[in-house]
Amino acid sequence: DDEPLTGRSAALKVELGGGETPLNLKEYINVDLKDYSTVNISGIDFEKLNSIDCRLPFQDDTVSEIYCAHCLEHILPYRGLLREIVRVCHIGALVKFIVPHWNCCIAKTNDHKHTVSEEQIRHWMYLKAWFSGCTKKLKSLDNYHKPGYDFDRAKILFPHLTNQEIMDFIPNTCCESHYTLTVVENK
């Protein structure tokens, strides 16, 4: 069963790195390095996607949505993964990343290789080198920051700050960042 999955008309939904606790096995194809019973396609090392010999197991333009929660921070380098995402996704596909907020203590745990911030996401959009040679690229649609354990206390202590300012500048007031992107033509 080494044949890449197809299905432009079926518009595949893919979860990257869902591991043992995927979002929704009925809707998403769970792709992971490890071979858990909840993984549909195992053995995909996202760090090796920078190699010409390693690709996501989907044909070009066959994926309508990518969901990747608490996986990206474990991958370094990840440029190859981003380029593979735009290859397999069709124009208009949604790409959703959930990562620990860069200023939260869990963002820097032992098995995390880097943090991901809004500035980095913007960097992907505007630096041509990230998607050079690709016919498509990612464009940011929305981001949401989930308040963390110290948010309520900080809100009381700093009533003059907006919720966003609190989560951006006070450690542990934001636990997760949710980024929604779309695939667009690379002009």
C-alpha 70/C-alpha 104 separation (Å) is: 14
* Entry pTM: 0.89
Residue 171, by phi and psi: left (phi above 0), alpha (psi -120 to 50) or beta? beta
What are the residues facing 179 on neighbouring strands?
97, 143
Q: What is the mean pLDDT of residues 54-79?
A: 94
Q: Is the pLDDT of residue 83 over 90?
A: yes
C-alpha 46/C-alpha 97 separation (Å) is: 14
pLDDT tens track for 23-65: 988 899 999 999 999 999 999 999 988 766 789 999 999 999 9
pLDDT at 108: 86
C-alpha 8/C-alpha 6 separation (Å) is: 6
